[in-house]
Amino acid sequence: MKFSFQGSRVLVTGASRGIGRAIGQTFAEAGARVLVHYRDNREAARRALQALPGGPHEILAADLAKPGEGRCLLARAVSCLGGLDILVNNAGMYRPHPPASTNAEEWDEAWQRTLQVNLLSPAELSHAAIEPFRVAGGGRIVNVTSRGAFRGEPDAPAYGASKAGLNALSQSLAKALAPEGIFVYAVAPGWVETDMAAPYLEGPGGQEIRDQIPLGRLASPQEIARAVCFLASPGTESMTGCILDVNGASYLRT
């Protein structure tokens, strides 16, 4: 599958590693200018930036666990890139907090931080992107959610709830913004072969995780990146509001 994003300006959050890095790489290979967002690992972001073909590309740090940082990041990205055509809300966090064994303080903190990173910051970024998209004559938002939004996350309920909220946000924005020429999509991966997943895959439950997937393997970051770039491509306008499952048939919605 070949993509063409020549001249497009793209902000990818959480782009220093894993899925986000693969998304940035795929956009850059297709001719886009990419802004690589990271939280605090500047060295990883610098390596991701150096690996991008074309350009000029940019990197910016922002802690999306802080209210208001999403809007600040969006404004800085527009300034760096000279505008914006595509926003990919990929940054996310997963923190275990099993209901039966988590105290009240840890429970509340897990919910507040997870919702801020996984839902409230994407909402800030998406709202702040509307005016730059108007200036550009339209735009696209692709949100990276999770199969956990549908199947539940018993050890991290805030994660499942935040991703379900991000799906609903995507569909609400798709309805509201289509008349503006702004199209909104979601990609919902299952398990993906990343360093974040490695501790779970290498632990005692690793084989059980693999056994969930009829495909027989985890998705690669590049597969998720191609799904994101497909939705961001011209010709998918009538798919606005869709949620694209990429989970190897490990969870099928009806």
Segment (H or E) for 34: strand 33-38
38 is catalytic: no
For the record, the structure tokens of 233 come out as 């491509």
The whole-number mean pLDDT for each consecutive block of 10 residues of the chain, a chain of 254 residues, reads 94 98 98 98 97 97 98 98 98 96 98 98 98 98 98 96 98 98 98 85 85 91 98 98 96 89
d(CA 117, CA 10): 20
* Length in residues, the chain: 254
Q: Would residue 216 count as lying in a domain?
A: yes
Q: Would residue 81 count as lying in a domain?
A: yes
Q: Would residue 49 count as lying in a domain?
A: yes
Q: How many structural domains comprise the chain?
A: 1
Residue 83, burial from CB neighbour count under 10 angstroms (0-12, 13-18, 19+): middle
Q: Would residue 251 count as lying in a domain?
A: no
pLDDT at 206: 85
**CATH number of the domain that residue 235 is part of:** 3.40.50.720
User: Alpha helix (H) ranges present in 157-220?
Assistant: 157-177, 198-201, 206-211
Q: Would residue 66 count as lying in a domain?
A: yes
Q: Could you say which of 94, 159, 185, 251 is catalytic?
A: 159
Q: Would residue 253 count as lying in a domain?
A: no
pLDDT at 197: 80
pLDDT at 15: 98
Q: Would residue 116 count as lying in a domain?
A: yes
Q: Would residue 2 count as lying in a domain?
A: no
pLDDT at 54: 97
> Following CA atoms 109, 172, 92, 54 in sequence, which dihedral angle do they give, to the nearest 10 degrees?
-150
Domain that holds residue 149: 9-246
The two beta strands, 9-12 and 86-89, are parallel
